[in-house]
Amino acid sequence: MRHWNAEDCAAMPWKNGGGITTELAIAPQGATLDNFEWRVSSALVTGSGPFSHFIGVDRSLAVLQGGALSLQVEDMAGFDLTPASEPFRFRGEQRIWATVAQGAISDLNVMTRRGSYSHQLLRLSGATEYLIKRQGALVLVYCAQGSADIRHAGSVLQLRQGDMLMLDQQDDIDSLPLQCRGRDVFYVAHLSAQQK
């Protein structure tokens, strides 16, 4: 089980040069935007513009803080993605224009390369106790707002805003209890390896 904070992670330019992203986790270690198998990142979006193209990549996007991110996806009707929205799933090849109307927003982005990994990104919030059950090879838990205690094997690990927890294939853990309070918001990414 690994545990770290976004402040410990490297920041880098977007693929299209339109902003800065913080790379929270990537595989394999040392991979680039051209050859990763999976990647989790967070970005501060301060202006409007097109999404970067990632051919052969499936993506999920969630707004963490700020106002609405208005999206126009090819020929679909436009819609707003807000901190209260469920994650938006799309293909990296799709043409998407994003408009930031009221100040900057921060987001969470999960990407998996088809043929290597698939993923599911879930939003957890409200005064509820969740049991996070492993659904694939990897489980990543990101604290977007608030904090929570995770209890395992007699120890307590506190996740604070910006913290990420990862269970990999070496962790003999099938589930984790997560106690959310009223204003806590967490995102859980399940990543499954695909046979090549």
Q: Are residues 57 and 154 in the same domain?
A: no
pTM (two decimals):
0.92
Please compute the mean of the pLDDT values over residues 151-167 and round it to a whole number: 86
Q: What is the CATH number of the domain that holds 150?
A: 2.60.120.10
Domain coverage including residue 146: 117-193
Output the pLDDT for position 18: 62
Which residue among 91, 113, 135 closes a domain? 113
Q: Are residues 87 and 176 in the same domain?
A: no
Q: How many domains does the chain have?
A: 2
Contact between 93 and 85 under an 8 Å Cβ cutoff? The reply is no
Q: What is the rounded CA–CA span in Å between residue 106 and residue 117? A: 25
How do residues 44-101 score in pLDDT, each as one tens digit? 888 888 998 999 999 999 999 999 999 999 888 889 999 999 999 999 999 999 999 7
Q: Are residues 71 and 142 in the same domain?
A: no
How do residues 114-133 score in pLDDT, each as one tens digit? 999 999 999 999 888 899 99
Q: Are residues 131 and 92 in the same domain?
A: no
Average pLDDT, the chain: 90
Tokens matching residue 87: 């994650």
Q: What b-and-e string marks burial along 13-31, b requiring 16 or more CB atoms within 10 Å of the CB?
A: ebeeebeebbbbbbbeeee
* Other Cβ atoms within 10 Å of 80 Cβ, number: 13
Which residue among 113, 140, 166 closes a domain? 113
Q: Are residues 85 and 165 in the same domain?
A: no
